[in-house]
């Protein structure tokens, strides 16, 4: 990969296209999700080598519960497998794992896997890798508002900094770049607050095919933009 001088600090991915990737090959959708999970591992290590400090992955939205039950079960099983298989590798690279979203509704086995990964990597000082699983941005904002009200914080004390501290992403910087694969041109209820001034990069490439060459294209596009934090 060529040297890119201006890199984002925080990249968020909407990893779209696993199902279509499988369908194009006459495979069950679960094989697309498995291919996507394997590719995720490669992308993380690529970004770690580039010293990207924060990466957030949109793994499962609150709306995904409306999918067929078999597909939901497969997605949860793949996440469990991925955590068990890859966490030690991530730990050796000093990567810290975080979960963004609600734990309610997840299986006990998955919650235990998430808790184990958190505890193992919590003191790591390298990349912070956040998995947005059972995540929805509108729900996140509502949860933050409810927590602030429940604590009786006066309205005149509420500003953007305080509100951000009640989001699932508390302690993380805002997103510099959102990358969505699969050809769709929308955010799909992902990090709406945190990406208010993000740069967006959309590509037709399906997630399992989004390789290091595609990462390079995205980062070059980012480096060529002039970021503006206002309306003009």
Active-site annotation, residues: 16, 64
Complete edge-to-edge strand list for the sheet that includes strand 10-14: 96-100, 128-135, 54-61, 10-14, 177-180, 199-202
Pairing mode, strands 54-61 and 128-135: parallel
Whole-angstrom distance, CA of residue 49 vs CA of residue 43: 10
Give DSSP secondary structure letters for 175-231: PSEEEE-TT--S--SSSTTTTTT-EEEE-SS-GGG--HHHHHHHHHHHHT-----S-
DSSP label at 155?
G
Question: Closest by alpha carbon to 63, among 167, 183, 186, 190?
Answer: 190
Whole-angstrom distance, CA of residue 173 vs CA of residue 136: 18
């Amino acid at each position: 990969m060529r040297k890119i001088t201006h890199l984002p600090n925080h990249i968020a991915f909407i990893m779209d296209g696993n199902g279509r990737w499988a369908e194009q090959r006459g495979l069950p959708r679960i094989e697309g999700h498995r291919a996507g999970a394997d590719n995720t591992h490669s992308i993380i290590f690529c970004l770690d080598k580039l010293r990207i400090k924060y990466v957030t992955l949109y793994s499962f939205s609150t709306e995904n519960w409306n999918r067929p039950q078999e597909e939901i079960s497969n997605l949860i099983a793949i996440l469990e497998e991925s955590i068990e298989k890859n966490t030690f590798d991530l730990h050796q690279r000093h990567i810290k794992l975080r979960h963004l979203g609600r734990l309610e509704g997840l299986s006990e086995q998955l919650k235990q896997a998430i808790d184990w990964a958190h505890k193992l990597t919590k003191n790591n000082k390298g990349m912070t890798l956040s998995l947005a699983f059972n995540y929805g941005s509108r729900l996140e904002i509502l949860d933050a508002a409810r927590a602030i009200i429940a604590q009786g914080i006066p309205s005149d004390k509420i500003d953007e900094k305080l509100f951000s501290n009640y989001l699932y992403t508390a302690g993380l910087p805002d997103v510099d770049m959102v990358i969505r694969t699969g050809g769709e041109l929308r955010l799909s209820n992902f990090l709406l607050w945190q990406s208010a001034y993000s740069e967006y990069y959309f590509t037709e490439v399906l997630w399992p095919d989004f390789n290091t060459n595609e990462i390079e294209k995205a980062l070059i596009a980012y480096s060529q933009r002039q970021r503006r934090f206002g309306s003009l």
